[in-house]
Structure 1
């Protein structure tokens, strides 16, 4: 197993799907559910969404004025290009444990994010995770990604 480390630079939540999310300092993750109070939480495989700041910086180079949360991601990570990680990679944040369940997504026909910001990086570079063990996470927490051996 290979381990690499990143840092949470933003945690973002919303009450409805398909909109920019609002940054918060900390959240509670509920096992097999997601972020308490977030629209994407539920008993399915896309409980948490994650995007690298490098992806947001790519969108900025396109000339789009975007920030963490603008692509409706729950967690924005620094230091790891998360879309390059394989499925089943575990993300450990303190006592919380997540598992990558999907990489990228099919974009709706010009989703709300793309309509608002022009283009969207989530279809190719966003990842989704399931909550295996819940708990509190906060901005600046270290994320240990445990990549399974092939």
Structure 2
């Protein structure tokens, strides 16, 4: 089943060859099935994030491609923060789609060829506060009942390779029901 999302687009693509917090905006990225983004430090079939690699090096890499919705930047600006595409380490910045509201297993078709399958929520860390003091608390909220809302995007794996550029469309393909909510990966 394909969900109807009007005018969902890629607004930026970003990569970094090193393990830095922010990624550089680039004209295009090449997604490689089962690996991630060609030339990005987090590409690989097994865990590549330095904080996890030491203990989980042989586990599958469920964090090959990180996506954030651009609308988060507007929300953060209202709270006094200045965040732009790539600043929070995302590979793909989208617009017009509620990434956090999608179920696990959703496939996002990026442009004409590439597709990623959402594996879960990004679990933000203290590096966000090193980028801008207080930002971690702004993107991870705890309600009075103790439930935690993480707003720093979703993680995914590449299920179809291809080139992705700013301006490409995003098409949503929901998994079969029952839908499984997103959890951190």
Same fold, TM exceeding 0.5? Answer: yes
Contact 1:10–1:139, Cα closer than 8 Å, also in 2 = yes
TM-aligned CA deviation for residue 18 of structure 1: 4.3
Counterparts of 1:103 and 1:116 in 2: how far apart (Å)? Answer: 20
2:100 to 83, 86, 92: 83
Q: Are positions 1:97 and 2:115 aligned together? A: yes
User: Do structure 1's residue 132 and structure 2's residue 149 form an aligned pair?
Assistant: no
| Unaligned 5+ runs, structure 1 | none
Larger Rg: 2
In the alignment, is the contact (CA less than 8 A) between 1:2 and 1:149 conserved in 2? no
Q: Give the deviation of 1:149 after TM superposition.
A: 3.8
Length, aligned pairs only? 147
Q: Is the 8 A contact 1:83 1:104 kept in 2?
A: no
> Which secondary structure state, in structure 2, belongs to the residue aligned with residue 102 of structure 1?
strand
Q: Look up the match of 1:4.
A: 4
CA shift, 1:115, in A, is 1.0
Does structure 2 conserve the Cα–Cα contact (< 8 Å) formed by 1:89 and 1:99?
Answer: yes
Structure with higher strand content: 1
Q: Which has the higher contact order (CA 8 A, sep 6+)?
A: 1
